[in-house]
Chains A and B, each alone.
Chain A
Amino acid sequence: MTETVLQLKDVQFDWTKRAEFSLSVPDFAMRKGETVLLLGESGSGKSTLLSLICGTLVPQAGSIKVADADMTTLSASARDRFRAERIGVIFQQFNLLPFGTVADNIQLPLRFAPERRQKAGDVGNATQNLLDALGLSRSVIIAKASTLSVGQQQRVAVARALIGQPSLIIADEPTSALDAATQSAFLDVLFEQVAASGASLLMVSHDARLADRFDRTVTMDDLTKPKVAV
Chain B
Amino acid sequence: MILRLAIASLAARAVTVCMTILAIALSVALFLGVEKVRTGAKGSFADTISGTDLIVGARSGSVQLLLYSVFRIGNATNNITWESYQDIADRPEVDWIVPISLGDSHRQFRVMGTTSEFFDHYKYRQGQSLALQEGALMGDLFDTVIGADVAETLGYSVGDPIVVSHGIASFADHKDQPFRISGILEKTGTPVDRTVIVSLEAIEAIHVDWQNGAQIPGQSTPPDVIRQMDLQPQAITAALVGLESPLQTFALQRAINQYPEEPLLAILPGVALQDLWAIVGVAETALLAVSAMVVVTALIGLMATIFASLTERRREMAIYRAMGARPSTIFGLLILEAVLVAAAGAIFGLIFLYFGLSIAQPLIDRNFGLWLDIAPPGGQEALILLAVVAAGAIVSILPALRAYKLSLADGMMVKT
Contact = CB atoms under 8 A, between A and B. Distances in A.
Contacts of B12: 98-99, 146
A104 B413 CA distance: 21
Given A54-B412, A56-B411, A56-B412, A112 B8 contact: no
Given A56-B321, A97-B319, A104 B5 contact: yes
Interface stretch (A75-83, A130-138, A193-201, A207-215): A75-83
Interface residues of B, number: 25
B324 A112 contact: yes
A83 to B, nearest CB: 5
A97 B411 contact: no
Contact of A84 (B315, B324, B327, B411): B324
Contact of B324 (A50, A94, A97, A113): A113
A51 B4 contact: no
B9 A99 contact: yes
A64 B5 CA distance: 33
A12 B322 CA distance: 22
Interface in A87-120: 89, 91, 94-101, 104, 107-109, 111-113
A84 B319 CA distance: 12
A67 to B, nearest CB: 14
A113 B322 CA distance: 12
A99 B324 CA distance: 19
B2 A95 contact: no
B38 interface: no
Interface string A156-184: 00001000000000000000000000000
Interface string A137-161: 0000000001000000000000010
Given A81-B324, A89-B322, A91-B319, 16 more contacts: A50-B412, A50-B413, A54-B322, A56-B321, A56-B413, A76-B327, A77-B328, A80-B324, A84-B325, A94-B315, A99-B5, A99-B8, A99-B12, A104-B4, A108-B5, A112-B324
B316 interface: yes
A107 B412 contact: no
Contact of B413 (A47, A100, A101, A146): A47
Contacts of A84: 323-325
Rank and list the top 7 A-B pairs by shortest CB-CB distance, nearest first: A84-B324, A56-B411, A112-B324, A99-B12, A99-B8, A109-B323, A89-B322
A189 interface: no
A54 B318 CA distance: 13
Nearest to B410: A56
B8 A109 contact: no
B1 interface: yes
A113 B1 CA distance: 14
Contacts of A160: 323
A91 B103 CA distance: 89
B296 to A, nearest CB: 30
A75 to B, nearest CB: 10
A111 B329 CA distance: 11
